[in-house]
């Protein structure tokens, strides 16, 4: 299902956070907290997270902009499950197993976007439609009694809402908290954005290390001194929650400018909104583009992060292309890969040494503590 687009205005919650940060209304900070360092390195904890969280809860796959056209499909393996994400001729999204019902052959071999009108097995050419229906079996007389209607591709429960595609391994998973995000996402016009570029990074850290990096602004002036620090003030942030999802806003360098609080473009120019979708994805809203980071556990000490950069429309001129290329290079290769992901890997290496038993979380890092408490509750 999809949620109809709204006019480009901030939601009540987005506006309330903007009011707090511009007026100087800061939430009460918790004291220093200590978190058990074993949550990043304990293989039994990792397995429990897989069973209790990743096998049970809805997980973000990609922005809708990954498949803007009908009758298209893409393979997705990030969560350790071979998937096909497909958009049929009616625009409906399907999430299916990338496994032929004949002999188990992988159907799509590339992670590039392909046509889904006919998904053909490379081994024996069993052919499926965009919705997973088995359309054709060569030499059907060799399979007496086989009814094609009984052999569709295995489907996973999925939902398209607010410009995002979600799925769950558990057929009884509750997608209610996904719908709660729709109003905020449509305020950003997520359903109408264009995918400029995407890239998958392999990070040598536990998946929660990457999530931690985007749950506090304490590091911005230090870790990002050579990239984006110039655009932000130090430690000026407020946050709240939409169900289990954290919503935060960080003041940019000129956030105290006199602006019309109802002017969404002006707000986005001076305030950066970020979202931590529970359990494992990040949305970062820059003034004129958006990055989505889908964090996918691979092992207790490694994860994949797929970075999607979304822009208002395809570049129309060489100047526009140069502008977006500069932004992509700054964030994907610089801020994210060379700084945030590198820091996550360095934290992982340090904790794996066994030299620290707890990690210290300060008052500007409340988001990290709240996130880990939610993980513990889910377990």
The arithmetic mean of pLDDT across residues 3-11, rounded, is: 58
pLDDT number for residue 217 = 74
The pTM of this model reads 0.92
Query: Could you give the strand order of the β-sheet that contains 281-285, starting from the edge strand earlier in sequence?
Result: 194-203, 302-311, 290-299, 281-285, 271-277, 245-252, 232-242
The per-residue pLDDT for range 39-49, each reduced to its tens digit, is 999 999 999 99
How many Å is the Cα radius of gyration of the chain?
22
pLDDT number for residue 7 = 45
- Range 12-56+189-378 has CATH code 3.90.380.10: yes
Of 225-229, 323-327, 346-350, least confident by mean pLDDT is 225-229
With beta carbons less than 8 A apart as the criterion, state whether 254 and 22 touch. Answer: no
Count how many Cα atoms sit within 13 Å of the Cα of residue 7 in the half-sphere of its side chain.
4
Q: Where do the structural domains in the chain lie, given as residue ranges?
A: 12-56+189-378, 59-173
Q: Is the pLDDT of residue 164 over 60?
A: yes
Please provide the DSSP assignment of 163-179 as one string.
TEEEEESSTT---HHHH
pLDDT number for residue 126 = 98
The arithmetic mean of pLDDT across residues 8-28, rounded, is: 78
Q: Is the pLDDT of residue 362 over 70?
A: yes
Spatial distance between the Cα atoms of 292 and 287, rounded to a whole number of angstroms = 14
Q: Is the pLDDT of residue 3 over 50?
A: no
The per-residue pLDDT for range 106-154, each reduced to its tens digit, is 999 999 999 999 999 999 999 999 999 999 999 999 999 999 999 999 9
SS3 309: strand
pLDDT number for residue 1 = 37
Structure-token pair, residue 86: 């497909």
Measured in whole angstroms, how far is the alpha carbon of residue 228 from the centre of its chain?
21
The arithmetic mean of pLDDT across residues 345-357, rounded, is: 96
For residue 201, is the peptide bond before it cis, meaning its omega torsion is within 30 degrees of 0? no
Measured in whole angstroms, how far is the alpha carbon of residue 197 from the centre of its chain?
14
| Confidence label for 2 from pLDDT (cuts 50, 70 and 90) | very low
Most confident of 11-25, 34-48, 218-232, 251-265: 34-48
Q: Which helix (H) or strand (E) holds 358?
A: strand 358-361
Specify the residue for token string 């059907």.
140
Domain 59-173 has what CATH class? mainly beta
The per-residue pLDDT for range 218-237, each reduced to its tens digit, is 566 666 667 876 666 655 67
């Amino acid at each position: 299902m999809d949620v109809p687009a709204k006019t480009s205005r901030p939601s009540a919650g987005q506006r309330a956070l903007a009011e707090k940060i511009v007026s100087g209304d800061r939430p009460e900070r918790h004291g220093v907290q200590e978190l058990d360092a074993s949550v990043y390195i304990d293989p039994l904890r990792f397995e429990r997270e897989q069973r209790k969280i990743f096998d049970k809860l809805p997980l973000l796959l990609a922005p809708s902009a990954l498949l803007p056209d009908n009758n298209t499909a893409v393979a997705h393996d990030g969560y350790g499950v071979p998937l096909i994400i497909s958009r049929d001729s009616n625009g409906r999204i399907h999430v299916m197993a990338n496994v032929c019902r004949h002999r188990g052959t992988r159907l799509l071999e590339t992670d590039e976007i392909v046509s889904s009108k006919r998904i053909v097995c490379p081994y024996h050419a069993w052919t499926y439609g965009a919705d997973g229906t088995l359309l054709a079996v060569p030499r059907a007389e060799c399979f007496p009694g086989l009814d094609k209607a009984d052999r569709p591709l295995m489907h996973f429960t999925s939902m398209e809402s607010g410009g995002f595609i979600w799925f769950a391994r558990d057929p009884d998973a509750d997608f209610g908290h996904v719908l709660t995000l729709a109003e905020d996402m449509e305020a950003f016009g997520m359903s109408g954005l264009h995918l400029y570029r995407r890239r998958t990074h392999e990070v040598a850290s536990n998946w929660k290390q990457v999530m931690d990096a985007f749950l506090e602004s304490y590091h911005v002036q230090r870790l990002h001194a050579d990239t984006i620090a110039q655009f932000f003030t130090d430690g000026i942030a407020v946050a709240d929650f939409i169900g289990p999802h954290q919503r935060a806003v960080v003041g940019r360098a000129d956030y105290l400018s006199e602006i019309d609080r109802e002017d969404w473009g002006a707000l986005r120019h001076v305030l950066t909104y970020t979202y931590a979708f529970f359990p494992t994805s990040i949305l970062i809203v820059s003034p004129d583009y958006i990055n989505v980071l889908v964090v996918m556990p691979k092992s207790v000490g490694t994860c994949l992060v797929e970075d999607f950069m979304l822009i208002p429309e395809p570049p129309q001129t060489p100047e526009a292309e140069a502008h977006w290329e500069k932004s992509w290079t700054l964030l994907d290769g610089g801020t994210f890969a060379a700084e945030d992901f590198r820091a996550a890997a360095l934290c992982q290496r340090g904790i794996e040494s066994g030299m620290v038993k707890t990690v210290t979380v300060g008052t500007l890092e409340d988001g990290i503590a709240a996130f880990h408490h939610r993980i513990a509750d889910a377990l």
